[in-house]
Structure 1
Amino acid sequence: MNLELTRLEDRLTPANSVPAGEFNWLQATPAGGLSELVWVGTTLTYRTRAGLGWDEEPVVAGSGYASSTYPDRDTVQRASQAAQLAFTADGTAHAFLLAPGFDASLGVGVDGVRHYTRGAGGWALTETIPLGPNPAGPFTPPADNLTAAVGPGGVFHLLAHRTVQQSTIGSVGQGELLYATNKSGAWAAGRALLTGDQGQDVFSSGDRFAPRFLSIAADSQNFAHITYSTGFFSAGSFAAVRSDLGYATNRTGAWVGETVYGPPDGTGDAALGASVAVAPGDVPAVASYFVDRAPTGSPASSQLLYHVRGAGG
């Protein structure tokens, strides 16, 4: 057997192409093929593996999350977190894209998701899924992170994060996790959980890169399982940094959250690169990337962790 090594994406050459969907951007199709969702400038593009190359087709052009070039990590992260690729069991490709708007009658920002489906004639907009108005008012940033999963029967599960209270000097912000599903046939969306502040501390910058704390999976009964960050804390430049890894499910009919892992010594990033999956028997498992940090906030070591529920719960 020969192993083939191929560079899938070069984020520097050219600098106008970045993955869309964070660590879900590259996926295997139900038929065993390989597909990816990327931003080529401001065009969301779907690619399929063809021999040693890639065939590509545009999904949609233009988005407030995309940029003609991606010169820094903030523009890369903003675009990458705004879109998701998913496949139903029949092999149909679906793309989901955050689509914020404004409701003049309410005077608030309204978050939504555009759902595109790939058919014989290419990609087409299937529907726009409302996530609801932001209770914080018109000047709060729109939703900034989206992830998607497909459950049995082609049921979709979407999870998004938005800020509902921005941080100011002397006051931390607050995040909100929004969940939407068409499990009942029609789309229903609402708050799953409130989280702590996920943004940079107002006194510091550069402490994190692409936190990737959101992930979602569906079990055999089409209940959702999610990972998230309970909040990001930084005491300022050259000071302690902390985030904890959270897990929640709606299997009981209501969302219940809990902390999976936190820094043992109180300083570190425990909510990086989190990914949840559901094993046979509907048993959840979580993989995450932990960065232990010194009291000054500097990275000291890193570990790839695997979490399952123990005998004690």
Structure 2
Amino acid sequence: MTELLLKCYIAAQSVGVCYGVNGDNLPTRQEVVDLYKVNNIGRMRIYYPDEVALQALKGSSIELIMDVPKETLQSLTDANAATNWVNKYVTPYSQDVNFKYIAVGNEIRPGDNEAQYILSVMTNIQNAISSANLQIKVSTAIDSTLITNPYPPNDGVFTNDAEQYIRPILNLLMKNGAPLLANVYPYFAYAGDQQNNIPLSYALFTQQGTNSVGYQNLFDAMLDSIYAALEKVEASNLQIVVSESGWPSEGGIGATIDNAATYYANLISHASGGTGTPKRPGVPIETYLFAIFDENQKQGAETERHFGLFSPDKTPKYQLNFN
């Protein structure tokens, strides 16, 4: 395969979509997998080992991130329990389902009770996967609250609490050649900017030219602040996979159909375009859009229920080209 063809292939494969199920009005798992197929969405993230979804994914070739939910973390600190988990939810499907990553916990923060379990469970799950001769990487998904001084991006650093928590996790990732998963949401940075320092155009990828520190969009700035933090803890060779990013269509500041459509279209183009970020130029950014559907039972702020790319009846909210 020529270098150009390889680059085109990588770019075409670089955008996935997260599949949450916190709604009482959503299509069947098989209908959802078919929706991914017809829209050329080549990657999916699910938030727990959903065996009905795994059955539907068989033979689809869709690359999959599957989470270990926080409710089961403590039990999997036992190595035998972790092996049983892999033998139940991964090994039987591994011939027909394209597992890419197992995400041990989503947005677990240093002060959370579950933080004490992450490293042990990652180790146990990776050992069980290796014992089964499977080529699946184990990681965990962080959020931007672990980073302080994010602007300018080169000043990004882990908070004191986060550094103690994350260092052994990063060491394990580097040892196993796995990426760090990170949920990157310019929307929340924009909506939470009380001083109005963040222009909407900067958050939506529509700003013309770069700012005083060389950035054209907030997504790259946030991502590079995490890379800067990694450099400061001797983990500069780690790759970051953006395991969630999205923009709500209603329910909060700047949450409109037009803004969300602009954000998703521009993120797809940017992530798959191969330009990378100023700190990691020339590399497509493996990115998972959040999320496939609006979820009417989602807890929290009103915006949480309006991140869907599709309505529950499977009609698209936006005209997006995923490939």
TM-score (norm 2): 0.30
TM-score (norm 1): 0.31
Would you tell me which structure has more strand in proportion to its own residues? Answer: 1
**Structure with more contact order per residue of length (Cα contacts < 8 Å, sep ≥ 6):** 2
Would you tell me which structure has more helix in proportion to its own residues? Answer: 2
